[in-house]
Structure 1
Amino acid sequence: MDTTHKESLVEKAKAYQQKGDLANAEIFFSEALSNDPNSVETLSNLGMLYLMKGNAQQAIDSWQKALSLDPENLESLSNLGFICTQIQDFQNALIYLEKASKVAPERDDIGLQIAQIKTHFGQYDEAKGILKPFLDSEPLSQNSYLMMAQLELLTNNSAGAKSNLEQLLKKDPNLVEAMINLASILETEGKAEDAHNYLTQAAQKAPFHFQANLELGRFLGQNGQAEEGLTYLKKAVQIQPGDWGIHVHLGNTYQEIGDFDNTIKSYKKALSINPDDLGTRQNLSRVMSRFVPPWHLRMLADHERNDAFEQAIEKAIKAESVALDIGTGSGLLAMMAAKHGAQKVYACEQSKYIAEAAKENIGKNGYAEKIQLFQAKSTQLTAENLNPKPNIIVAEIFDSGLLGEHAVPSFRHALESLCEEGTKVIPKAAEVKGKLLHAPKSSSVNPITKISGFDLSGFDQFRVPEEYITQNLSEITHEFCSDEFKILDVDFEKLWPAMAPNQCRRFDISVEVTDNKPIHGIAFWFTLFMDDSIMLSSAPGRKDNHWGQAVSFFNQPIIGSSGQKLKVTVNYTDTKIWFEDPQLV
């Protein structure tokens, strides 16, 4: 065999491959292999060529043949590990990659792939063990530090994640990805100023870095600096216009400043790129439906609600009381606190127009000197805004499903950042309960399909998909298919820890079916515990209940019979409750 000729053929093939001329590259690789069928190098190169052409199986065959000749061929082992990972054949991927790692234990890219697969299998400690040697390796393995930080977060060790990222920044002070990840942790911990500093540094060090501009713009938009945030988000759009997520953040930020036309345009652009994203469709539906808020007057007309709040406020207020009313709306609860003797009342209302009306109401009732009104979210306030600090929180920021008006994150921020230690919250706690529901007529429009024989599915765009609806059950045809069961307890004075974005808590419940009718979903409601003795319920049957009840419809009715058990997964975050995987057991 003429090895010089073979090498010439291989070099010509590689040259064509680098130019993107894969057809000629294949011709020369094939000729080289014909001259030397046992050339491991040619087989390995040919496998990569096949992969570039999209012929995954031919690539696999070529690399496996190379391994039959040289079981320790590093490139074939690592490439097979990569391609098996891409096709989600993780078991075989792990086999190939672990063999490759034995051949080249210094290769951090191989170690990272192994750690990723271990993470996929939930083997977090093993993944950490694989990454640990690379943390002290030379040259610096930035990705090993970044992944180790993610593993620490997955195992609820935010301190360890921060430590890894801080060590990485000491070794590489200009690494933008480490700054962004560290800012994300600090933001979750409520350390907004520190998070802001890291994101600002990232954008300054890499002004054309897509993620740096996106994250700083998003952060500013969510923290009362929407106009400045738009500058960075628009820059991110210029850098990467085809990313659907940036258009979502742009829509969110336009919404913060009340520019609903651009909000809708941004959400529609995101959906043109990613039409299947449920969250964006929900956001678009919410914006389109917010122009007609139907609940303000009904809330004020709920006198049992008004009386329960006033009774609890009157019992709690002392001469030294300083109250914070979150989401004051008309100003009613703030004025109750002032009426019953609070020395100072702070009231927050993010809507410009509602805040203006509240200010007018407060003035008309003679409380302008005692009540300080902020046209802002309470989460935009700092302790410096409030002197003296509040020691009582009063708020009615609940929807029919309890959490949808952001009560939990608002209370958490106020308790941790604005109020004195030991601050009372009115209401102090809540309990969510529900029943299995048979509601054949209402289920026919959740989702909307055929009505009276006509396909009306085009109207389904006006329904927020996969989200509970608010419904006063006394107004619809329905029957219950179970006894009342508990769904969730919430202690507003001792809330659960903040969850990272896109995380939720979940657990299964089992409910006994008490009727043979089809089960269309779950109706649920709550009881507010104003204090230890005053309660207010949104359960069916209470007249003038402005909340109504929440109804979560299943995608398909469940056909069961009395005595069977229905298992369903309860999911919740700070802002919503939903149900998944209903099945009879």
Structure 2
Amino acid sequence: MTDTPTPTVIDAAQRFRSNDLAGAEEACRAILATDPHNAGALHLLGLVAAYTDQPDTALDLFAEAIAENGNDPSFHNSRGSLLFQQDRPAEAEEAFRAGLAINPRLPELHGNLGNALKAQGRLDEAADCFRTALDLRPNAPEMHHFLAATLRDLGEPDEAERHFRSALEQVPDYLDVHYSLAELLSTRGRLEEAEAEFRIVLAAASRFIPAQVGLAHALQGLGRAADAIDAIEAAHGQAPDHPMVRATRRLIYSNAVPGRHLPMINDVERHEAYRRSLERAVTPESLVLEIGTGSGIVAMMAARAGAKTVVTCEANPILARVAKETVARNGYADRIDVVPRPSTQLTVGEGRDLPEKADVFVSELVDTGMLTPRMLSVLRHARTHLVKPGGVIIPRASTIHAMLVETPELARINPVQCIDGFDMESFDVFRSPGCQRIDLGADAHTPLSKPFTALDFDFTRNMPEEGRRVIDVTVTTAGTCHGVAFWFDLVMDDAVVYKSESRARTNPWKQAMIFLEKPITLLAGDRLRVVARYDSNQISFGIDG
């Protein structure tokens, strides 16, 4: 009887590539039974473990393979890739650099290193890695995609768009790129083009929720309210409990009538903060840029403070028309130019929207929950393209404060469900998205903790599009925690801070509240791990564990 020959690493690799993971594992173990130091078999066995959801075993096997033969860059690449998947980017970086030290001409390793650096917020270094990968392999669509996404985050949308389109020239049905390009175009205010890209994605992947939501935002921005509602209702029909769908659905409905502007123009404390800060920043030679003019009152404050020229933009054409009329009625038409377009469409240069980049940049994009959709992207674009280096930015920062709260009356209708025996859940769509408004000066509530600092934002620099912080909070008063109330400080400059915690009746923002899905009964002395999160649209809170 003839003995079965021991398989080779090539045999094991062929089985792995054909997705015969059990066969690949069997072949590797047979090899290692006769040659326990076979680095190739150890590496392949590690890949099998990684694909069968055994990450710790896989990392051990990759380490053994490297110990046996540290000169194979693919071993380091596999280890780095798994570490990156486990959200360990610093360790992944070390592994990728080890592979590149062996062979610096491997584009995949440069690309993987770029992703590890990007995950650590080192965007410039990441972009250099992707560029190196493209130098080595110019026709690598995924590297164009990675570079484009990084350039977008660096505030270089023109270059980002060029690389997105280069990827699509090579792979026209690259849906991830179509979606990323759609988001970029949407942020830049090119909404008709964004709509077309979103529809390409949805034609091939009709249940891709982010594209459905993006399409709804684009249609709303185009003033096609009925189409926007149809788009978000289609998403709601597929995923009614998806947080992004729920938030956008409420946003579209609640924004049908922009009723926030009347309370805003009566907020005495807000006016004082902007007025004082502008008076400190503006000189007779200042070119002031304002984003989101609304009523036009802040632009007029800048002109009254002595600015030579004020350019203010407003994406809502109706608001822009009324603001222009208000400016003229107050005698500032010769110094204030109201541009009825989003800030991402403004141009700079002689004869354009801005004669040059602005000396002072002022914005009022916040809402009750501080962040509004794509606010960070809009600010990043303005800093990069519309404001002089070192220009004054008002406000320049924000701090989010929060506390645990018991508020049974408000909890009864958040969300809207049964009222007086009637099922009123359909009416819940009219609530504002994400957080709800609470007036801590008027609404009945019991603080269950001391206020704590939850998040910090620096509007003078590029921040990640999303982030989180875990805070250990001690319960000071026994009760039922219905959620987390929060508010914000807008740091206008060194001396001026606007506080939305103000209990003044003229404060239009009041405070915000995130209601827990299930209330929690607490005793004094209990400790909760509160998770504060933000993304490109909103701030939210949850309880860890």
Normalised to the residue count of structure 2, the TM-score between the two structures is: 0.83
Is the contact between residue 435 and residue 523 of structure 1 (CA under 8 Å) also seen in structure 2? yes
In structure 1, the residue corresponding to 2:115 is in which secondary structure?
helix
Specify which of 440, 457, 467 is matched with residue 473 of structure 1.
440
Specify which of 374, 393, 398 is matched with residue 361 of structure 2.
393
Q: 2:540 maps to which residue?
A: 578
Q: 2:486 maps to which residue?
A: 524
Q: 2:345 maps to which residue?
A: 380
Is the contact between residue 63 and residue 80 of structure 1 (CA under 8 Å) also seen in structure 2? no
Q: 2:449 maps to which residue?
A: 482
1:463–1:87 Cα change, 3 Å:
farther
- 1:538 and 2:500 matched: yes
346-355 or 385-394: bigger deviation? 385-394
**Structure 1 unaligned residues grouped into runs of 5+:** 4-35
Alpha-carbon separation, structure 1, partners of 2:14 and 2:276:
80
Alpha-carbon separation, structure 1, partners of 2:328 and 2:388:
28
1:173–1:443 Cα change, 3 Å:
same
Is the contact between residue 107 and residue 132 of structure 2 (CA under 8 Å) also seen in structure 1? no
72-81 or 375-384: bigger deviation? 72-81
**Structure 2 unaligned residues grouped into runs of 5+:** none
Is the contact between residue 73 and residue 98 of structure 2 (CA under 8 Å) also seen in structure 1? no
Alpha-carbon separation, structure 2, partners of 1:314 and 1:128:
48
Q: Shift of residue 479 of structure 1?
A: 1.9
Q: Shift of residue 233 of structure 1?
A: 3.8
Deviation per CA, 1:186-214, whole angstroms, max 9, x where unpaired? Answer: 11111122222222322233334333433
The aligned runs of 1:62-461 (5 Å cut-off) are 66=30, 80-97=45-62, 111-121=76-86, 124=89, 126-132=91-97, 135=100, 141-241=106-206, 243-270=208-235, 277-314=242-279, 316-384=281-349, 385-404=353-372, 408-427=376-395, 429-448=397-416
Between the two proteins, the alignment pairs up a number of residues equal to 540
Deviation per CA, 1:405-427, whole angstroms, max 9, x where unpaired? Answer: 66655444434432334433444
Alpha-carbon separation, structure 2, partners of 1:275 and 1:235:
23
Larger Rg: 1
1:540–1:314 Cα change, 3 Å:
closer
CA RMSD of aligned residues (A): 4.0
1:295–1:117 Cα change, 3 Å:
same
430-439 or 326-335: bigger deviation? 430-439
1:256 counterpart letter in structure 2:
G
Alpha-carbon separation, structure 1, partners of 2:277 and 2:206:
52
In structure 2, the residue corresponding to 1:174 is in which secondary structure?
coil
Is the contact between residue 401 and residue 525 of structure 1 (CA under 8 Å) also seen in structure 2? yes
Q: Shift of residue 437 of structure 1?
A: 1.2
Higher normalized contact order (CA 8 Å, seq sep 6+, divided by chain length): 2
In structure 1, the residue corresponding to 2:478 is in which secondary structure?
coil
1:458–1:65 Cα change, 3 Å:
farther
In structure 2, the residue corresponding to 1:518 is in which secondary structure?
strand
Is the contact between residue 403 and residue 451 of structure 2 (CA under 8 Å) also seen in structure 1? yes
1:548 counterpart letter in structure 2:
K
Q: 1:25 maps to which residue?
A: none
Alpha-carbon separation, structure 2, partners of 1:46 and 1:137:
25
The aligned runs of 1:472-511 (5 Å cut-off) are 472-490=439-457, 492=459, 495-499=460-464, 501=465, 503-504=466-467, 506-511=468-473
In structure 2, the residue corresponding to 1:383 is in which secondary structure?
coil
Q: 1:569 maps to which residue?
A: 531
Alpha-carbon separation, structure 2, partners of 1:406 and 1:61:
47
Is the contact between residue 357 and residue 385 of structure 2 (CA under 8 Å) also seen in structure 1? no
